Structure formats: C-alpha cells, structure tokens
Amino acid sequence: MQWYSALFRVFLCVVLGLALGWYFDRPLAGAAVALLALALFWSYQMSRLQTWLKSSDPPPADLYGLWGDVVSQIHKQRRVAAENETRLQSLVDYLLESFASMRDGVVIVDAQGAIKWCNDMAAEMLALQFPEDSGQAITNLVRHPDFKSYVSAGDYADPLYLYTNGDSKRHLQVIITRFGKGDSLLFVRDVSERVRMDQARRDFVGNVSHELRTPLTVITGYLGTFLANTERLPDYLLKPLQQMDQQADRMENLLKDLLWLSRIESEERDEKRESIDIKALLEELKEELTAAHPRRRVLLRLSADGRVSGDYRELYSAISNLVQNAMKYSADDTPVTVGWRVGPDGYYLSVRDQGIGIDRAHIPRLTERFYRVDDSRSSATGGTGLGLAIVKHVAASHGARLQIESEPGKGSTFTLVFPPESSAEKVTMTEQRNGQC
Ligand SMILES: Nc1ncnc2c1ncn2[C@@H]1O[C@H](COP(=O)(O)OP(=O)(O)OP(=O)(O)O)[C@@H](O)[C@H]1O
Ligand SMILES: [Mg+2]
C-alpha cells in the first residue's frame, strides 16, 4: 500500500467526521471523534501485530491496509530467513560430518580458548570428551607444557610436535589456523610412524658411519706408512697412493661430519643449559683459525655482552663452519669479519666475507645435506657439503634462525639470530625435530 492511499484514508476519515459533526452542528468535535476512532483502531492493530511478532503463528488474515502490508512483508522476510537458516544448517552439518570422518583430529576453539566442537579422532588423540568438554578451556584439558606455551605464544607459523606420555605413546603434530573473529581450528595428526622412520634413518646413518671408521683408520694408517717412505716406493705407485690418501682424508671428514650431525640430531630434544660467553668463544675460534691459516685476516666486531644458553661444542662447530666457509670461498687477501651485536629481535652473530658470493637461486637449498653450489669447485676445496646442514641443526636446537645474504662476486653474510630469551627458553623444535633438511 502506498503512503498516499494511507493518507487518503486519514483524510477521508476526517472529512466523514466533519460531515457528521456538521449534521449535529459540531463539525470540529465530529472530526476529533473520527481521528480518535482511527487512533484506537490503529492501536488495536498494532497490539495484534506485536502479539503476532512474538509468536511463530501464520500471519493473521484480518489485518487490513497498512498493517496488512507490514505483516505480509515481515512474513515474507521470515520465510526467506528460515530458508537461509535451513540451508546454512545443512551446510554446517555437511562440514561437521566431513570433519568427523577425517582421519586427522579436528578441534574448533573460540576466541577465549574454549572448545566448541571436536571430532572423534581429536577426542581420542587429545583425551577429550565431547560434548561433555564443550565450553572448557583447551589448555586445561590438554595439559602438555609445550602445548600450553605454544598456544599462549600465539605464533602458529610452524606446527607443534608433541609426545604423549599416556597409555598411547605417540608423536602428534598440531597445526593451528585462525579464522572468523579470533576462533581457531586445530588439526592434530599422528606422526609416530614418520618419527620412527626418521629415527631409523638417523640410527642407520650413525651406525654405518661409526662402523666405517675402523676400516678407514686401518687404510689411512697403511697409506701413511707407505707415504712416509716414498723413497722405497716404485714411481708408478706414488701418485695413486697420494690420491688414495687424499680421498681417505675426505672420507674421514665426511664420516666425522655425519657422526656429528647424527649426534646433534639425537640430542635436539635435550635441554641445553650451559651459559655460553659468545665473545670468549669467538676469541678462541679466532686464535685457532689464525694458527691454522696465519695469512688470513679474521676481524672480530663484538658489541654485545649477551650470553647464549646452549651447548658450547655445538655452537663452536657451527660458527667455525661458517668462518671456514667464508675463508674457503673468498680470496686470501680479503678479511673475514665476525660480528656479535644486539639487533631488533635478539642477538646477531654474523660472518661476512668478500668472496665469490652465491647466486640467489641456490640460497634456499644451501642447508640441505650434501648440497653444493658447484660440485667441481667443492671437490677441489675438499668440502663434504654437510657444514651448513650442521649449522642449521645447531641453530634450530638453540632456538636461533639462520639468515643468508649474498651477492655473486661481492661476498656473503651468514647470520645466526638468537632470540633475546634464548638463555632461558627451551625451544619448540619444528621440522628439524623430524630430521628434515
Ligand atoms: N661463504 C660462502 N661463500 C660462497 N659460497 C658458500 C659460502 N658458504 C657456503 N657456500 C656454498 O654452500 C655450499 C654448502 O656449504 P657447506 O658448508 O654445507 O659445504 P662445504 O663447504 O662444501 O663442505 P664442508 O663445510 O662440509 O666442508 C658450499 O659447497 C658452497 O658452494
Ligand atoms: Mg663448509
């Protein structure tokens, strides 16, 4: 109904009142009575509309004019809303059903950290009871300390790995994704098999390396004896024996690095609590390297006083790998600068050289085992390609990250960034814990 027809009805009512009043010689009183009657009629209609709005009954059929229009509009909107609700509900049911049938655990947690929903798999893996636990804070029910600190830190960029100690001893991977207004979706996956395989691989590499050391010691021993008496050797044997000695040396270095890597990997879970004075470590390293390479200049730029909590031998070996790389891949007359300073997000240990640099395409793969930018070049320099893999593992187990900046022909800077609290915190290991490089 248009506004002007409603107005016309009011006007008609007033005119009728006036006419009736005229008949009794009281036109204004007639109009007032007509308006009053109209107001009473509207109030009655309004109260019926109000009663109907509170109910879910079908609309009353005897509401006329403007009120009838209002009722039919509201009814139409109610019907559309009900249809939408049914459609959304069936979509939610469908999604919940697909989550429920997943082999991974799924938990929906609200912005306050309370459980809203979880599937059977999550209930089993995290020892939850649903729907009984709905509304409870998840950190009160999953009482693993690593889980609590991971959730409260709120940084979900890397997944969390948990080891459940209860009846079912398993390794779980937890991935948290935020959605909506601060709600979170937790995916829980049983990765026990993968961890077991990684452990088996590590053990295998460690055992083989260990077993190979004894025969190699015998071979290098004999080679050393032969080469100590070169004057008694026939000429045609001298070169092959020297090459064998060189390759046996490489093999020895390779086994040493493999054993060291497998030791670091197996100790990653242990807490590292030794407080290390990095300045003193760098002074010692400089002394050792200048004794071995007297012609090389190693400059120390030490401006921070912070200490790092960790394993001295591991850190020494990682930093030594970086400095030796810097020496190996730069010219003898250029300096290698080692810096220790405070930066925006922690302590920065940087090793800078003015050497050959590395093409940008190789940088993401440098820390993979045996990865070398140029195989022929590395064979010439005697590298095993395990140095940066060791650095990466040591960094991860100390909560540090490795940054690599390099420009071909100008030089490279390798930086280990230690978090400010690295002295106190046990760091949650991510993929490295599972031995992925
Ligand atoms: N400072 C650097 N400048 C240029 N290239 C580098 C530098 N550091 C590492 N690289 C490149 O990265 C590769 C991997 O280094 P990594 O230390 O892992 O192995 P490596 O030096 O060959 O052997 P290792 O250190 O085990 O003796 C090297 O082969 C080299 O190509
Ligand atoms: Mg190296």
Measured in angstroms, how far is the CA atom of residue 234 from the centroid of ligand 2? 37
Q: What is the pLDDT of residue 377?
A: 56
Q: Ligand 1, atom 21: nearest CA belongs to which residue?
A: 383
Q: What is the pLDDT of residue 428?
A: 35
> For each successive 10 residues of the chain (437 residues), what is the average pLDDT?
77 90 90 90 85 80 74 88 94 88 91 92 90 92 89 89 80 93 92 91 88 93 92 90 92 90 74 84 95 93 88 93 95 95 91 95 92 69 83 91 95 93 42 33
Q: Ligand 1, atom 25: nearest CA belongs to which residue?
A: 387
Of ligand 1's listed atoms, the one at least distance from the Cα of 324 is 25
Give the distance, in angstroms, between the CA of residue 22 and the centroid of all CA atoms in the same chain.
Answer: 87
Measured in angstroms, how far is the CA atom of residue 324 from the centroid of ligand 2? 6
Q: Ligand 1, atom 27: nearest CA belongs to which residue?
A: 383
Q: CA–CA separation, 97 vs 92, rounded Å?
A: 8
Give residue ranges with CB within 6 A of ligand 1.
Answer: 257, 321, 325-326, 329, 353, 355-356, 358, 366, 371-374, 378, 383-388, 412
The phi and psi torsions of 308 (rounded to 5 degrees) equal -125, 140
HSE (side-chain half, CA atoms, 13 Å) at 19: 6
368 alpha carbon, closest ligand: 1
Q: What is the pLDDT of residue 432?
A: 36
Q: What is the pLDDT of residue 370?
A: 86
CB 412 within 8 A of CB 429: no
DSSP reduced 3-state for 169:
coil
The phi and psi torsions of 208 (rounded to 5 degrees) equal -60, -45
Assign 3-class secondary structure to 255-294.
Answer: HHHHHHHHHHHHCCCCCCCEEEEHHHHHHHHHHHHHHHCC
pTM flag (> 0.75) = no
Q: What is the pLDDT of residue 430?
A: 35
Measured in angstroms, how far is the CA atom of residue 387 from the centroid of ligand 2? 4
Answer CATH for 272-437 from 3.20.20.140, 3.30.565.10, 3.60.21.10, 3.40.50.300: 3.30.565.10
Q: What are the structural domain ranges in the chain?
A: 3-95, 102-190, 192-266, 272-437
Measured in angstroms, how far is the CA atom of residue 133 from the centroid of ligand 2? 53
Question: Considering the domain 192-266, what is its CATH architecture?
Answer: Orthogonal Bundle (1.10)
Q: Which of 325, 368, 369 to mutate to test the pocket of ligand 1 (most atoms within 8 A of CB)?
A: 325
CATH superfamily of 102-190: PAS domain (3.30.450.20)
Residue 209 CB neighbours (<10 A)? 18
